[in-house]
Structure 1
Amino acid sequence: MKIEEALNNLKHAIESERLAHAYIVVGSPREEGRCLVEQVLSLVFCSAKKKPCGDCRGCLDVREHTHPDIMWVEPQMKSRKISIDQIRDLQKQVFQTSYSGGWKACVLVGADRIGDQAANAFLKTLEEPPKRCIFFLLTDSPQFLLPTVVSRCQAINVASGLLNLPSDLRDKVVDILTHSSAVVSGKRSVITAFGVGERLAGLLGEIKDGIEKEEYQIAEEGSLDEDDDTLDARVSSRYREIRSAIIHALLLWHRDVLMLVCGTDKGLVFRKEAYDCLAKKAEGLTVRAALRNIQTVEEMNRQLERNMPDKTVLDFGFSRLN
């Protein structure tokens, strides 16, 4: 679903007073997901007749994440988990009277990072939510949310299905994917497969170094008094999002190959610009082998989420791809 369509649906829900108390927004927590939530909150907290005006105090506070009736919760520590203490603090605040006398809102950024104990505590709030309070759970990995949490929320999927990366970085990723297809379609060996994994691991290393440099530069130039744990957590969060987008691109790549192996039409291929490369990779590949490739990429993603070393996961994973 496009952001505009989702926003229009939520606008009608606001006008008809049919807002759900909780939404799972599937998309990048720092890209389309956050964009949608900020626009919805501007509609809710704008004080002008024509909403959102973009200029009133409410709109400005939403944009700057300083509105007293909106709580933004995201992983803060190196564990990259939303802690039970954060949820308890959230619970205290959502049951307090609104500063503006209207709505209150809570946004969980990277909601899939909520720990088990915290998730169970948060579930109680969803089961008995405070009046005039709306919850947004932003995640690009909804499969990691507790089913009991999911069942108490409405889902909105605004994931673009594209890499949320700068064009130069996206081109590098596509080049690696193209090379990986050439390797497995030609004279495949463990050495060449490791080479592809090493290239991708090297690119990820460059990305992480760039994020660290940028975040620490911002911290030095800014006035925020943040400790190293908070900065490290922000670096880790941004890096994981980009890594997740790259693995998602790899998954889509092998999904396209499977579609071609099954004889699907070119129009259903996601990366149409790489059709020739994908078609060549699909030649001589069985449906079982194509499915096994997808399962391998999914297993790589699970291993990365468990904090296994990137290079180890990628080297071994690419060595298993057909």
Structure 2
Amino acid sequence: MIPPPENVMDSWQGIEQSFHSGKLAHAYIIEGGNIKVAENFATRILQLLFCKHDEAPCEICSSCSSVGERKHVDVLWLEPESKSRQIVVSDVEEVIARMNRTSFEGGWKATVLLHADRLHPVAENKLLKILEEPPSRSLLLLVTDNKAALLPTIKSRCLHVYCKEGSESGVLDIENALDFFPPTTGLEVGLLCNIISAALSQLLGNRNEAMEMEFTSGVELRKEVVEARLSADRKLIQESVVIQLVRWLHDVLSVQAGINEKNIYFHDRVGQLESIAQKYTADDILMMIRELEGLKLRLDSNLPEQYVFEEVFRKMVL
């Protein structure tokens, strides 16, 4: 058996023990700050199910290879393909039909929903049917980087696995940007925008390279899937910036409220957070959080990305 990466070792051991004891759940939400890390973890779970060797997953047998190439006959992969970048009702109907049929190889049957947080609300409600009455030897994996966007009724019927980010996971790093956030001058607004823009461009370039590698590795991707995935990637990376900045401001509020340092997300920057907490009122911070939440909608417009960020950041210079 090839060991998993260190950053997901703890999560993997729990899955492996459940599988070998016959207690694998019928549905898992696999969450990772980097969707690719969570996606790779889902692939490894499937290889554990379908591997032909005793020490599974070997990653080299025909079953492991077909899972890795998304060609296994008993695995259905779904991700947003429509122009709205959502998983729609017809997709979920296909999931239900596939899961209720006998598997082709007489064993497990599985479905992976990539970017599960993009389930259309109606499709999400329809998915409850398969979660409430799961067929035998079936597995549903909901892969996401935003579990909070899923319905509580969905989350309550799945086990949650969190995949920690490795040092080279490709997650957008905005640590340098936090040195200038919230901005206090127009100059800092410009520096902040430049740092974020450069980080976005670099990570999007890495994602495009990864997509090209999938082509060369033999994974067949339809044009509409590629376009939808690239578009979704850009949106996800933009949202990751907003999420981290909001977390930063929530930490400022936590410091103002005297919350224990252990419960602060950016606990290694407490000194900086304390300085910000003394400079601004709670109302100031709440205003900034509202502006960031509105930023998500403005990023969906046709306005230039950097212009949208700059417009919002300038409102934070008090």
The interval holding the TM-score normalised by the smaller chain is 0.7 to 0.9
Q: Which residue of 2 aligns with 1:178?
A: 179
Unaligned runs of at least 5 residues, structure 2? 1-5
Q: Which residue of 1 aligns with 2:284?
A: 289
Query: Take 2:132 and 2:125, find their aligned partners in 1: how far apart are those partners?
Result: 11
Q: What SS does the corresponding residue of 2:17 show, helix, strand or coil?
A: helix
Query: Take 2:120 and 2:226, find their aligned partners in 1: how far apart are those partners?
Result: 20
Query: Take 2:232 and 2:247, find their aligned partners in 1: how far apart are those partners?
Result: 22
Question: Does the Cα contact within 8 Å between 1:140 and 1:159 map onto a contact in 2?
Answer: no
Change over 3 Å in CA distance of 1:243–1:95 after alignment to 2 = same
Question: Does the Cα contact within 8 Å between 1:215 and 1:235 map onto a contact in 2?
Answer: no
Unaligned runs of at least 5 residues, structure 1? none
User: Once the 2 structures are TM-superposed, how far is the Cα of residue 284 of structure 1 from its aligned partner?
Assistant: 2.6
User: Once the 2 structures are TM-superposed, how far is the Cα of residue 244 of structure 1 from its aligned partner?
Assistant: 2.5
Which letter does structure 1 place at the counterpart of 2:248? Answer: W
1:57 to 59, 62, 67: 62
Q: What SS does the corresponding residue of 2:179 show, helix, strand or coil?
A: helix
Paired residues for 1:1-80 under 5 Å: 3-28=8-33, 30-80=35-85
Question: Does the Cα contact within 8 Å between 2:34 and 2:169 map onto a contact in 1?
Answer: no
Question: Does the Cα contact within 8 Å between 1:110 and 1:138 map onto a contact in 2?
Answer: yes
Q: Which residue of 1 aligns with 2:231?
A: 236
Paired residues for 1:246-257 under 5 Å: 246-257=241-252
User: Once the 2 structures are TM-superposed, how far is the Cα of residue 208 of structure 1 from its aligned partner?
Assistant: 8.4
User: Once the 2 structures are TM-superposed, how far is the Cα of residue 26 of structure 1 from its aligned partner?
Assistant: 1.8
Which letter does structure 2 place at the counterpart of 1:9? Answer: G
Query: Take 2:27 and 2:219, find their aligned partners in 1: how far apart are those partners?
Result: 31
Query: Take 1:287 and 1:161, find their aligned partners in 2: how far apart are those partners?
Result: 34
Question: Does the Cα contact within 8 Å between 1:197 and 1:311 map onto a contact in 2?
Answer: no
2:151 to 134, 146, 162: 146
Q: TM-score with structure 2 length normalisation?
A: 0.80
2:114 to 84, 87, 109: 109
Query: Could you tell which deviates more after superposition, 101-110 or 80-89?
Result: 80-89
Q: TM-score with structure 1 length normalisation?
A: 0.79
Query: Take 2:217 and 2:7, find their aligned partners in 1: how far apart are those partners?
Result: 35
Which letter does structure 1 place at the counterpart of 2:312? Answer: G
Identity of aligned residues (%): 27
Change over 3 Å in CA distance of 1:303–1:135 after alignment to 2 = farther
User: Once the 2 structures are TM-superposed, how far is the Cα of residue 176 of structure 1 from its aligned partner?
Assistant: 3.0
Q: What SS does the corresponding residue of 1:125 show, helix, strand or coil?
A: helix
Residue-by-residue CA offset, 1:179-203 (whole Å, 9 max, x unaligned)? 234x32xxx4xx5576467536744
Paired residues for 1:137-216 under 5 Å: 137-160=142-165, 164-165=169-170, 170=173, 173-181=174-182, 183-184=183-184, 188=185, 191=186, 195=190, 198-199=193-194, 202-203=197-198, 206=201, 210=205, 214=209
Query: Could you tell which deviates more after superposition, 231-240 or 276-285?
Result: 276-285
Task: Kindly report the root-mean-square deviation, in angstroms, between the aligned alpha carbons of the 2 structures.
Answer: 3.5
Residue-by-residue CA offset, 1:191-224 (whole Å, 9 max, x unaligned)? 5576467536744773587479658967997888
Query: Take 2:221 and 2:61, find their aligned partners in 1: how far apart are those partners?
Result: 29
Which letter does structure 2 place at the counterpart of 1:111? Answer: A
Question: Does the Cα contact within 8 Å between 2:26 and 2:140 map onto a contact in 1?
Answer: yes
Which letter does structure 1 place at the counterpart of 2:104? Answer: Y
Query: Take 1:76 and 1:234, find their aligned partners in 2: how far apart are those partners?
Result: 8
Residue-by-residue CA offset, 1:24-49 (whole Å, 9 max, x unaligned)? 11214633311321222221111111
Which letter does structure 1 place at the counterpart of 2:26? Answer: H
User: Once the 2 structures are TM-superposed, how far is the Cα of residue 107 of structure 1 from its aligned partner?
Assistant: 0.6
User: Once the 2 structures are TM-superposed, how far is the Cα of residue 272 of structure 1 from its aligned partner?
Assistant: 6.2
